[in-house]
Amino acid sequence: MSVLVMKFGGTSVATLDRIRRAAKRVGREVAKGHDVIVIVSAMAGKTNELVGWVSETSPFFDAREYDAVVSSGENVTAGLMALTLQEMDVPARSWQGWQVPLRTSSAHSAARITEIPTDNITQKFAEGMKVAVVAGFQGISPEGRITTLGRGGSDTTAVAFAAAFNAVRCDIYTDVDGVYTTDPRITSKARKLDRIAFEEMLELASLGAKVLQTRSVELAMRYKVKLRVLSSFEDGDETAGTLVCDEEDIVESNVVSGVAYSRDEAKMTLLGVADKPGIAAAIFGPLSEAGVNVDMIVQNISEHGETDMTFSCPVDQVARAEKAMREARESGEIGFSDLVADTDVAKVSVVGIGMRSHTGVAAQMFKALSAENVNIKVITTSEIKISVLIDRKYMELAVQALHDTFGLDKVA
């Protein structure tokens, strides 16, 4: 019997009415002959509420107890979904992570999945169960403690189950009806994509598109799991939404598939850094240890044995980065004359697998930004991506201009 994985996000199960709506979708897939594994998130807002309770109870909390508390939201949803399906005469039961068991590392609140044995659920399918409703976002550590996978971890749970059970597909139900060429809130010309390659989706997810969690896309690409992103609020057949798949499954696409942006970026520059071997390691080692997520890096031309080093990071990590650099200078690891932070920048990127075989994309991008008098502060490129840092006030203008320049409102 074929296995289908269906994942419902927090907004899709926010109320009992929405859970009933989701359950009807599951019932339709069962009627088609699938055994279904349903992965559920906590009801919208519940995880934030639980996190707030933990922080209010204990500012310096035990991470193991934090996971025990915040994972409970998914348990409630799983039970309610199973009960709803049973009321519809669909044989279903709920599973918490430890019951599967979904085995993880011991890194509480940021655990990695290590194994999903299939025996327990497969046995229940053989006995007549048609739907396994699994609490997403959670697992069990080697020490036997509940762990969580980090925010958005239910997406990763769903893809991991699809890989473990060799599912025909993994459907991710959310509050949007697919993956768009850019944010429809910024430009009305944004177009829903029928298909997008894993690599493109991975870049878009890492660059700020919040449709899928980055780790889930990485897993899907590694295990060749076909992902379908679709709305839980709109009815549709198997062609609805956006299919995230292998590049080979896409017949033709635009050179650029999407424009992504990240509003909350900061640009930091170390002035007067010694230009010598090992200086980059001396700078970025302490930043890594401090948990600073460095993205774009540019080193200026050396002059008189000194250079400037510029990097970007999330704006909420600026204070952490400044502290790490000050401590590194005080300890003698590095020397610099000044540290300048610009917290009013945004990152805008164009992404597309077609860039591998087409030249001139960078020139088009820079010309389009120049025409709008948008000054570029930092540039980085990869095989299928070009990213720039610009003043935040020009972000929406830049997204709109690039969307028009690359004709993303038109089908290839």
Average pLDDT over residues 67-91: 97
Average pLDDT over residues 130-146: 97
Average pLDDT over residues 177-181: 88
> Residue 358 has what pLDDT?
86
Closest CA to 217 of 186, 234, 196, 238: 196
For the stretch 293-347, pLDDT in tens is 998 998 887 677 788 999 999 999 999 999 999 999 998 889 999 999 999 999 9
| Band of pLDDT at residue 223, cut at 50, 70 and 90 | very high
> Residue 231 has what pLDDT?
87
CB 12 within 8 A of CB 174: yes
Name the pTM for this structure.
0.82
Average pLDDT over residues 10-23: 95
> Residue 238 has what pLDDT?
63
> Residue 210 has what pLDDT?
67
Average pLDDT over residues 139-163: 94
185 has a pLDDT exceeding 90:
no
- Please report how many Cα atoms fall inside a 13 Å half-sphere around the Cα of residue 271, on the Cβ side: 5
Spelled out in words, what is the top-level CATH class assigned to the domain 3-175?
alpha beta
Which residues of the chain are in CATH 3.30.2130.10 domains? 259-405
Q: What is the 3-state secondary structure (H, E, C) of the chain?
A: CCEEEEEECHHHHCCHHHHHHHHHHHHHHHHCCCEEEEEECCCCCHHHHHHHHHHHHCCCCCHHHHHHHHCHHHHHHHHHHHHHHHHCCCCEEEECHHHCCCEECCCCCCCCEEECCCHHHHHHHHCCCCEEEEECCEEECCCCCEEECCCCHHHHHHHHHHHHCCCCEEEEEECCCCCECCCCCCCCCCCECCEEEHHHHHHHHHCCCCCCCHHHHHHHHHHCCCEEEEECCCCCCCCCCEEEECHHHCCCCCCCCEEEEEEEEEEEEEEEEECCCCHHHHHHHHHHHCCCCCCCEEECCCECCEEEEEEEEEHHHHHHHHHHHHHHHHCCCCCCCEEEEEEEEEEEEEECHHHHCCCCHHHHHHHHHHHCCCCEEEEEEECCEEEEEEEHHHHHHHHHHHHHHCCCCCCC
> Residue 267 has what pLDDT?
96
CA 389 to chain centre: 21
For the stretch 278-296, pLDDT in tens is 889 999 999 999 989 998 9
Amino acid in position 68? A
Average pLDDT over residues 128-157: 95
| Band of pLDDT at residue 251, cut at 50, 70 and 90 | low
Percent of the chain with pLDDT over 70: 96
> Residue 59 has what pLDDT?
81
139 has a pLDDT exceeding 70:
yes
CB 171 within 8 A of CB 232: no
Percent of the chain with pLDDT over 90: 70
85 has a pLDDT exceeding 70:
yes
Spelled out in words, what is the top-level CATH class assigned to the domain 259-405?
alpha beta
The mean of the pLDDT values for the chain is 91
> Residue 208 has what pLDDT?
59
For the stretch 37-71, pLDDT in tens is 999 999 999 999 999 999 999 888 899 999 999 99
Average pLDDT over residues 150-175: 93
CB 288 within 8 A of CB 241: no
Q: Comparing 119 with 357, which gets the higher pLDDT? A: 119
**How many CB atoms within 10 Å of residue 124?**
18
> Residue 250 has what pLDDT?
77
Average pLDDT over residues 82-108: 97
Q: What is the 3-state secondary structure (H, E, C) of 206-241?
A: HCCCCCCCHHHHHHHHHHCCCEEEEECCCCCCCCCC
> Residue 202 has what pLDDT?
87
| Band of pLDDT at residue 239, cut at 50, 70 and 90 | low
DSSP state of 42: P
20 has a pLDDT exceeding 70:
yes
Which residues of the chain are in CATH 3.40.1160.10 domains? 3-175
Beta strands 242-245 and 227-231, pairing class: antiparallel
> Residue 150 has what pLDDT?
87
Q: Comparing 233 with 394, which gets the higher pLDDT? A: 394
| Band of pLDDT at residue 412, cut at 50, 70 and 90 | low
3-state SS assignment for residue 102: coil
Lowest mean pLDDT among 164-168, 199-203, 205-209, 254-258: 205-209
